[in-house]
Chains A and B, each alone.
Chain A
Amino acid sequence: GAGVSQSPSNKVTEKGKDVELRCDPISGHTALYWYRQSLGQGLEFLIYFQGNSAPDKSGLPSDRFSAERTGGSVSTLTIQRTQQEDSAVYLCASSLVRGSNQPQHFGDGTRLSIL
């Protein structure tokens, strides 16, 4: 079946603009994660959704970042008033069920460039 789908694959925007990044997880996967990866760096956890539970937002770097997951499927990560330090690849991952012992399946990411 289809893997995790993210759009857009690339996004270039001016500083101060808002951006929306979309993630469509693998069908049937109840857990969804957002990560940020700066060039040549590791994965920085941002937010985690599991079913109807309240999301774990502990990784969001500032209140300019927010995310929602509608209908338990598609998720949108929104960055308001973008700054140059927001430039990075934003990766989405899903897993079949909740749990840190579950393999995570990643999308190809959105490469965000703030001018």
Chain B
Amino acid sequence: GQQVMQIPQYQHVQEGEDFTTYCNSSTTLSNIQWYKQRPGGHPVFLIQLVKSGEVKKQKRLTFQFGEAKKNSSLHITATQTTDVGTYFCAGPSYNTDKLIFGTGTRLQVFP
């Protein structure tokens, strides 16, 4: 079945270091969404990418959608302790309105 995988599963960084999580789909996606879940919290929508090769920025966060629309990445520049949490990508399930969430990358930032 359709799968959305993320790597790494877990990463810890020193505050100020950069961080990247990669999202890979087994199928071509019409769009990709990114969510952040703080520890003990619920997922919060961050952004959606639609176009092949699209790049969007939100302050220190840079989101990219691959040319083949099968992968995506989230890069955080100069991490802060407020960036701690799990980052999920999510793509549409083939021919339905459901989202398939990725396996998530848990980010820990040490001050």
A positions within 8 Å CB-CB of B: 31, 33, 35, 40-43, 45, 48, 50, 56, 59, 91, 93, 98-101, 103-109
Contact = CB atoms under 8 A, between A and B. Distances in A.
Contacts of B41: 108
Given A42-B88, A103-B48, A98 B43 contact: no
Interface of B: 30-31, 33, 41-45, 48, 50, 88, 91-93, 96-104, 106
Nearest to B46: A103
A-side binding surface: helix, strand, loop or mixed? Answer: loop
B86 to A, nearest CB: 9
Contacts of A48: 97-98
A101 B31 contact: yes
Given A100-B31, A101-B31, A56 B43 contact: no
Nearest to B103: A42
A41 B31 CA distance: 23
Contacts of A43: 43, 88, 101
Given A43-B101, A91-B42, A108-B41, A101 B88 contact: no
21 contacts: A33-B99, A42-B101, A42-B102, A42-B103, A43-B43, A56-B97, A59-B98, A91-B42, A98-B97, A100-B31, A100-B91, A100-B93, A100-B97, A101-B48, A101-B50, A104-B33, A104-B45, A106-B43, A106-B44, A107-B42, A108-B42
A59 B97 CA distance: 13
A61 B57 CA distance: 38
Nearest to A108: B42
* A-B residue pairs, 8 tightest by C-beta: A100-B92, A106-B42, A103-B45, A43-B101, A98-B97, A101-B31, A106-B43, A42-B104
B44 to A, nearest CB: 7
B64 to A, nearest CB: 18
Nearest to A109: B42
